[in-house]
Amino acid sequence: MSSTGLSQIKITLKCFVIERRETSAKNMIMNDITSHPCYTNLFLIIFILFPTIAISVDTLTATQNLTYGKTLVSSDDVFELGFFSPGSSGKWYIGIWYKNIVQRTYVWVANRDDPLANSSGVLRIINQRIGLFDGSQNLVWSSNQTKATNPVAQLQDSGNFVLKEAGSDEILWQSFDYPTDTLLPQMKIGWDLKTGFEWYLTSWKSTDDPSTGDNSFKLDFHGFPEGFLWNKQERKYRSGPWNGVRFSGVPEMKPIEGINFEFFIDQDHDVYYSFFIENKNLFSRLIVSPDGFLQRFTWIEANKIWNPFWYAPKDQCDNYGECGPFGICDTNASPVCQCMRGFEPKDPQAWSLRDGSGGCVRKTELQCSEDKFLQLKNMKLPDTTTSFVDYNMTLKECEAFCSRNCSCTAYANTNITGGTGCVTWTGELKDIRKYAEGGQDLYVRLAASDIGDGANATPIIIGVTVGSAILILGLVACFLWRRKTLLGRQIRKTEPRGHPERSQDLLLNQVVISSKRDYSAEKTDDLELPLFDFETIVRATDNFTDYNKLGQGGFGIVYKGRLLEGQEIAVKRLSRNSGQGIEEFKNEVRLIAKLQHRNLVRLLGCCVEMDEKMLVYE
C-alpha cells in the first residue's frame, strides 16, 4: 500500500475518534453515520481494500439484495452462503460452505443445473419466495412460493437455508429438502409417504461442475427399507436394511462418541435415515462423489484435513449381485463366490472362471411341510425390496409363519437388539455376503435331505472340516512318500545313461494326475508330465480368444499364449468331439517324448481337467 493511502487512513481514523468524542452514540447512528464525510471515507476505503466482505447477519429481508462480494453467515460462524465459481469452470452459483474451514467445502448449491455466466447475479426475496436473477434481471432459480406476508431468508448454523415469516420459527421452505451431493446432520434421506416427496443425494458431475451427476444414493421404502447407490439406472451398492443398530451391510457402522445415527420408519408418514452430532465442534458429512463412491468424512482440526471415515463400495463383495441368486460373497474365501449348502453353481464353467454372477440353484426340490431351515451367521441380509415385514413377530413366530408358506425361502429378525420383528423372502435371495464378524443371522429354507438332522449345520461343518483336514494330511504324506520312491527309482534308472536318454525316462516314467477327473479305470502305463491347471491356461491364452488361434488340426485347435513369467507357449486344445480318448492322448505324448530332438518343438506339459485335455509346447 502506498504512503499516501496510509496517510488517508490515519486522517480518516483520527477524524472518526474526534467525532466519537463530540457526538453521542445515538445521534451518530441516526444522523452522522450516513452523512458525515469521516464515515463516508472510512467505509469507502474499507470497501476498496476488502471487496469481498460478509454481511454480519444471517438474514436476508425483502428490502435487501445479496450480490457478489457479500455473504450471509450463520449466527455462530459455522456456515456461509454466497456466490462462488468452482475451479476453472467460469460459471457462477449460489452455494453454502463451511465458514472457518480453509479448504473450501461446499455442502449445497442452489442453481446447480442453471449456472450464471458471470458474477453479476442478484439473490433477493420477491413474491414470497427466494429468487436468483442474472445481470439482465432474468429469473434463473427460485424456491417454492409461500404464503408469507413478510418473508425473510435465514442461514442457520445447521447449514439449512430457510424461508420463513419474520418473527416466526415456522419454516415455509428449506434447502434441506433439496440436497445436492452432501448429507449434513439433521438432513434426511428417504420419503414423506403422505406427499410422496423424496430426499436423496446426487453427485456433482465433476469436481469443477456441481451440475447433477450420474451417481445417486436413495432409500427404497418398499419391503424392508434400505439404501441403494445408483449409477444412472444401475444398482452399484446396497446398504442392507436397518437392523436396529446399523445397516445390515455396514458391520463397521458402530456408535461414535458425539454422533448418533437414526433410522426412522413410520408406515403411514415417513421413512428416512438421518444422523445427529452432539458436539458443535465436530464436523461430519456423507457425500456421493463424482466417481461413484458413498463416503463419510470427519474434520480433523489439528491436521486441517477431511479424514475419510468410511466409504462404499470398498471391495468386490460390495458390488451389487456379485455372486448372483443364492450365492454368498466372502472376501476371505477363494474364490469369493460360494454356493450355500444345498445349492450348486448354475453355470459350472463360468463359476470355475471366477464369474459368479449366474448364481446358484437348488440340488433338491423343496417339499414344503418337510423342509427345514439352515442358519447362516454374520450375513448381510439379501435384497429386501420385495420382502414381507412384520415388526411385532418374535423369531419363533417368524419361523412358523415362513414354514406355513411354501413360497417362503428365508427369514430373519428385523431388530437384532431385542430379537424381534420378522422379515421373510419369497423367490430368489440376491446380493448376500458373509462377514468375519458383524452382520446377522439368516435362516434359509432347504430340503430336509440337504440339511441333515437339525437346522443348525455348525456341528456338521466342523466335522466335515476336521475330516477334510485329516484326509488332506494323509494325501500329502502319501504324495511325499510316492515322490521319494519315484525319485529313488529314477536315480537308479538314469545313472548309467547320457543326458538325452535320462530326459526321456523322466518323461515316460511319471504319472499324469487330474485334479477334476478320476482316470483310475484307465491304465496310464506310468506316464507323467508337468501339470498345468486349467485357469493358468485360460489366462495365458486370454480365454482362448480367436486372435490367439494359430491353427486347427484333426483333433483340436492350437492357441498362442504367454505364461505369467513371460514364457511364450503353444497350447493344443483337444476337441471334446474329436473322439480322441485318454489312450490316444497318451499315445501322442509317448510319440512326442520319443521324438525329442533339437529341431522339434519341446513339450512342456499338459492339462487334464474335467473334459479338457491340452498339450503345452514351447
Residue 6 has pLDDT above 70, yes or no: no
Residue 470 has pLDDT above 90, yes or no: no
As a 3-state breakdown, the chain gives helix, strand, coil percent values, each rounded to 5, of: 25, 35, 45
- Predicted confidence (pLDDT) per residue in 131-178, tens digit: 999 999 999 999 998 888 899 999 999 999 999 999 899 999 999 999
Closest to 444 measured CA to CA, from 436, 435, 432, 453: 432
State the Cα–Cα distance between residues 47 and 43, nearest whole angstrom.
6
Mean pLDDT of 453-467: 48
CB atoms within 10 A of CB 365: 7
Contacts of 300 (CB under 8 A, 6+ apart): 306, 307
Residue 35 has pLDDT above 60, yes or no: no
Instruction: Identify the pLDDT of residue 584.
Output: 67
Residue 207 has pLDDT above 90, yes or no: yes
Residue spans of the domains in the chain: they are: 3-49, 52-176, 179-314, 320-456, 497-617
Give the HSE-up count for residue 565: Cα atoms under 13 Å, Cβ half-sphere: 2
Instruction: Identify the pLDDT of residue 316.
Output: 95
Instruction: Identify the pLDDT of residue 466.
Output: 53
Mean residue pLDDT across the chain: 81
Residue 45 has pLDDT above 50, yes or no: no
Mean pLDDT of 201-223: 96
Strands 343-345 and 612-617: unpaired
Instruction: Identify the pLDDT of residue 564.
Output: 80
Instruction: Identify the pLDDT of residue 495.
Output: 41
Helical ranges in 355-415 per DSSP H: 395-404
Residue 76 has pLDDT above 60, yes or no: yes
- Any idea which of 193-207, 394-408, 432-446, 485-499 has the lowest mean pLDDT? 485-499
Instruction: Identify the pLDDT of residue 576.
Output: 64
Instruction: Identify the pLDDT of residue 479.
Output: 63
Instruction: Identify the pLDDT of residue 528.
Output: 56
b/e code 562-588 from CB counts within 10 Å (16+ = b):
eeeeeeebbbbbbeeeeebebeebbeb
Mean pLDDT of 242-248: 89
- Any idea which of 217-221, 386-390, 425-429, 515-519 has the lowest mean pLDDT? 515-519
Strands 432-434 and 327-329: parallel
The number of residues in the chain equals 618
Mean pLDDT of 190-215: 96
State the Cα–Cα distance between residues 462 and 473, nearest whole angstrom.
17
Domain 179-314, CATH: 2.90.10.10
Closest to 394 measured CA to CA, from 373, 420, 414: 420
Full DSSP string of 419-469: TEEEEEEES---SEEE-SS-SEEEEEEE-HHHHTTSS--HHHHHHHHHHHH
Q: What angle do CA 36, 40, 42 make, to 5 degrees?
A: 120
Mean pLDDT of 397-402: 96
CB atoms within 10 A of CB 546: 8
CATH superfamily of 497-617: Phosphorylase Kinase; domain 1 (3.30.200.20)
CB 553 within 8 A of CB 529: no
- Any idea which of 209-218, 283-292, 549-558 has the lowest mean pLDDT? 549-558
Instruction: Identify the pLDDT of residue 594.
Output: 62
Domain 52-176, classified CATH 3.40.50.1820, yes or no:
no
- Predicted confidence (pLDDT) per residue in 322-370, tens digit: 999 999 999 999 899 999 999 999 999 999 899 999 999 999 999 998 9
| pLDDT level of residue 572 (50, 70, 90 thresholds) | confident
Identical fold for domains 52-176 and 497-617, yes or no, is no
Residue 46 has pLDDT above 80, yes or no: no
